[in-house]
Amino acid sequence: MHTAMMPWWDDKRIEWYRRAAERSSFHRALASVIGKIAGKNEYILEIGCGLGYTAEILARGGWKIKATDADKRAIEEAERRSRLHIFSLLDARGPLPKSGLLLMIFFGRIAEGDSLDHYLHSTGKIISIISEHRGQSDLLRKKDGEPERTVEYLRKRNDIVFTRTSFSHSFPQPLRSEEEGEEFIERMYGKERKDEYMKFLQPSGGSDFPLLFPNEKHISVFTIERRKR
C-alpha cells in the first residue's frame, strides 16, 4: 500500500470541483448518510478529505471531526473556504491518530494488501465510501468493480462485521464550452474514454456555464467494525 502519492489538486481541478459543489446538494446529502451512521459522541477522523466539503458540513452540524489529507494545496483551500480549524496535513500511509470512527470518502482500497489492518489499528469502526464506477449509465460500468472486490474480501475476514448500503446523487459539472468539456472528461476519465463520455454533455440553460456534464454518483457505503469478542 506504500506507493508514491502524486498531488491531485491543481488550479483547474479545484475550480471545476468548486463550481460543481456550489451548485449541487451532493455533499449535504452525503453528510446526511454519514450522519445516520456516525454518532455525535464519536470522534471522527477523515483521511483523504480533499477540499473538505463533507467534513465542513458535518462540523457545522455538530459532529466532532478532524479532516486530513496529504495534499497541502487541498488543505489550504479547505481552510480558506470554510474558515474552520479542523483541517490538517496527514499522510495516511503512516501512523494514524486514534479515533472513534475513521471516515474514508473515495480514498484508499481496504481490500488491498494490509490496508484494512493498517486502518483498524487506529480505530474500531470505519466508514468507507467507494464509487461504483457506473459512469453516466450502466453501459459504462466497470466489471468486477472495487465494491464487489471489497465485499468478497470482507466476507473472508472473521474479525470484522460489515454492512453495505447504496447511495446515488447527481453532482453535475458546469462547463463554459465544449472545449472545456473535452478537457474535463480527458482529465477525469482518461483520453481513451472521451468519446464515450462526450455524448452526455447537455445544455444547461445558463449563460455563464451553458453546458452541463450530469456526473451521476453511484456509491457503496461500507460500515466496518471489529467483531466483539
Convert the pLDDT of each residue in 159-208 to its tens digit.
Answer: 999 999 999 999 999 999 999 999 999 999 899 989 989 999 999 999 99
Give domain status of residue 96, yes or no. yes
pLDDT of residue 121: 95
| One domain, residues 188 and 136 | no
- Three-state SS sequence of the chain: CCCCCCCCCCHHHHHHHHHHHHCCCHHHHHHHHHHCCCCCCCEEEEECCCCCHHHHHHHHCCCEEEEEECCHHHHHHHHHHHCCCCEEECCCCCCCCCCCEEEEECCCCCCCCCHHHHHHCCCCEEEEEEECCCCCCHHHCCCCCHHHHHHHHHHCCCCEEEEEEEEEEECCEEECCHHHHHHHHHHHHCHHHHHHHHCCCEECCCCCCCEEECCEEEEEEEEEEECCC
Give domain status of residue 43, yes or no. yes
* Residues of the domain holding 180: 173-213
216-226 and 125-131: which strand pairing?
antiparallel
| One domain, residues 97 and 190 | no
Q: Cα 222 to chain center, whole Å? A: 13
pLDDT of residue 133: 73
| One domain, residues 25 and 113 | yes
| One domain, residues 54 and 106 | yes
| One domain, residues 52 and 121 | yes
| One domain, residues 18 and 39 | yes
| One domain, residues 162 and 85 | yes
Please state, in angstroms and rounded to a whole number, the distance separating the CA atoms of residues 167 and 169. 7
User: How many domains are contained in the chain?
Assistant: 2
221-to-13, 50, 70, 166 alpha-carbon distances in Å: 25, 18, 23, 6
| One domain, residues 51 and 112 | yes
| One domain, residues 19 and 98 | yes
Q: pLDDT of 145-166, one tens digit each?
A: 789 999 999 999 999 999 999 9
Give domain status of residue 154, yes or no. yes
- The pTM of this model reads 0.92
Residues of the chain with pLDDT under 50: 1-4, 140
pLDDT of residue 3: 45
| One domain, residues 157 and 191 | no
Please state, in angstroms and rounded to a whole number, the distance separating the CA atoms of residues 86 and 78. 9
